[in-house]
Chain A
Amino acid sequence: MADPVVAIIGAGPAGVRAAAALVAAGVRPVVIDEAMRAGGQIYRRQPDGFTRSYTDLYGSEADRAKAVHDCFDALHGHVDYRPQTLAWNISDRRIFTAGPDGQQVLPFDALLLCTGATDRLMPVSGWHWAGCYSLGGAQIALKAQACAIGRRTVFMGSGPLLYLVAAQYAKAGAEVAAVLDTSSMSASVAALPRLLAQPATLRVGVGLLRDLRRAGVPIHRGITPVEIHGDADRGVSGVTVRTSRGDALTIDCDAAAMGHHLRPETQLAELAGCDFAFDAMVRQWLPVRDADGRSSQPGVYLAGDGARILGAVAAEAAGELAALTILADRGYRVSDTARQDARQAVARARRFAEGLARAYPWPHEQTSALGDATILCRCEAITVGDLRRTIAETGAEEANRAKAFSRIGMGRCQGRYCGLAAAELIAGAVGTPVEAVGRLRAAAPVKPIAIGSAGRCDR
């Protein structure tokens, strides 16, 4: 019997642990990853020639980062690793890729999607000025390039990354002008029982707050973003918010990092034909999967933050679990205890994630207060008012029809950064629940392909 082709897309903690489990069973997986080096987002590696230590780079997660990197390095020769390669479509049980070797088509027997996440953004007036970045982007500047996004940075939004990245900036010696959190202290307290599902992670979070306070960083909770000030030439110059007491607060800065936790990258799952369901807790459409990582499509499996935001520890467990499921489904004998342990780790992370969703809720109600002049689509400068007018004139209350009429979600980022807020705006404008608005459909290519590789086919 020919060996099955098992493909993994994504070499973050989920993909790495999955690859290791497959190799341990004697399978040689194909690992496709867009990044230059394996590690994924949280354990992103710095380029050759940089000298900061694991502790400098990953703080409390240094040991985990090193373990994931070492695990993947030890697989060298046992995996068909394709870095700098974008999987841009899945169709007819084939993966279409673009990378250093040009375009390729890979038929698969089993496919594990470990595509990770991107920041979830809520637009605010002025977020298109140069110097405004996503929280994840602000962190990548520091981790991968030893740079801060500005001389004096405001961190605004909510979620664990807000405090983490601000604390990392303060520790690296960059000036943190303020941390402005849309969530309230009482929400955090109410979420505590669930957050205790991962006490170590909770301790890290509490430590970050303490570090920020010690560094003298002003922290405001329960704020409402009003405006990022700036101009077309010089970019960001300040941020104004309304405090929980209702006062206007303006802080000078030359950069702003913003976001509300993360959203999974689910486009490939959609192109592979996986069913999706609306998740009321996070107000997002997520691919359906069973407790072991099977999607609704036979032979297609899901693990890590690309399926549901559960964090890096759970991503490792879910990656291993999905790989063991693939093996079991293909008739290999696998350890029941290993599967049971992984299931439990994922279940704990799920409870913790419920806590995070309560502590740092997506402030969807803010969309109705966005002014008409606010840019909604950063790619094509489509405003909130443009979308409201489209809805009023055409009655386009379904996301894809609104997209066709207004071009929302059709820009370069394909709706990654405006899609969730646009759905909330549509729901608010027509008075339906957001799930009735549907979701923007994924389209291939899932990202624009560099011209160099689009132009040439297999050398």
Chain B
Amino acid sequence: MRVAEAGRSPITLFVDGIPAAALAGDTLMTAMLIANRSLRRSEFGGEARAGFCLMGACQDCWIWTEEGDRVRACSTPAVDGARLSTRQPATAWPTRS
């Protein structure tokens, strides 16, 4: 929920193909959680996940670009027109860590 700084310029992202309204300066996490309750599903329990530490330590907020690159939503700035996937795209190379 935004509590301030709502006067920034609007941008649009596409999450699983669906447009999501966001603001310039948002992280991907902020942008996606303003639009939805969660970022992804746990691959172990299947439940919704929405990040945890916001400082790049817990890795709970992994999402993917449509090209298949894995990104940490909490520390990646949202750019206008970005196309994101809440699931690892099946056609992408397998995730290495």
Stretch at the interface among A64-72, A134-142, A330-338, A389-397: A134-142
Closest to B47 in A: A232
Of all chain A residues, the one with the shortest Cβ separation from B33 is: A147
The interface bits of chain A over 163-179 (1 if a CB of B lies within 8 angstroms of the residue's CB, else 0) are 00000000011100000
**Could you tell me which residues of chain B, from 47 to 71, have a CB within 8 Å of some CB in chain A?**
47-60, 62, 69-71
B48 pairs with A233, CB closer than 8 A: yes
Q: Are the C-beta atoms of A235 and B48 separated by less than 8 Å?
A: yes
**Shortest Cβ distance from A133 into B: residue:** B52
7 residue pairs of the A-B complex, CB under 8 angstroms, read A52-B5, A145-B26, A233-B47, A233-B48, A378-B58, A451-B69, A451-B93
* Interface status of B97 (Cβ within 8 A of chain A): yes
Could you tell me if A151 and B53 are in contact, using CB atoms closer than 8 angstroms? no
Chain B interface residue count, CB cutoff 8 Å, equals 48
A75 at the interface (CB under 8 A from B): no
B17 at the interface (CB under 8 A from A): no
> Does A131 reach chain B (CB closer than 8 Å)?
yes
User: B1 at interface (Cβ–Cβ under 8 A)?
Assistant: yes
Interface residue? B38 (CB, 8 A): yes
Which residues does chain A contribute within 8 Å of B42, judged by CB atoms? Answer: 128, 381
Band of interface residues on A:
35 or more
Which residue of the partner chain A has the closest CB to B41?
A232
Chain B residues touching A, majority SS: loop
B residues near A (Cβ < 8 Å) are 1-9, 24-27, 30, 33-34, 37-38, 42, 44-60, 62, 69-72, 74-75, 77, 93, 95-97
What mask results when residues 378 to 411 of chain A are scored 1 for a CB within 8 Å of chain B, else 0? Answer: 1111000000000000000000000000000000
**Chain B residues with CB below 8 A from A150, complex form:** 1
Contacting pair A48 B25 (CB below 8 A): yes
One of B3, B54, B75 near A146 (C-beta < 8 A): B3
Compute how far the CA of A445 lies from the CA of B62 in the bound complex, rounded to whole angstroms.
17
How distant is the Cα of A46 from the Cα of B21 in the complex, in angstroms?
20
Contact with B along A115-126 (1 / 0, CB 8 A): 000110000000
Contact residue among A232, A234, A413, A451 (Cβ-Cβ distance under 8 Å from B59):
A413
Q: What are the nearest 9 A-B pairs in CB distance?
A: A412-B59, A232-B47, A137-B54, A381-B44, A130-B50, A146-B5, A448-B97, A140-B54, A47-B25
Closest-by-CB residue of A relative to B71 is A450
Question: Once the chains bind, are A173 and B3 in contact (CB under 8 Å)?
Answer: yes
Residues of B within 8 A of A34 (CB): 56
Q: How far is the CA of A118 from the CA of B60 in the complex (A)?
A: 14
Contact yes or no, B54 A49, CB < 8 A: no
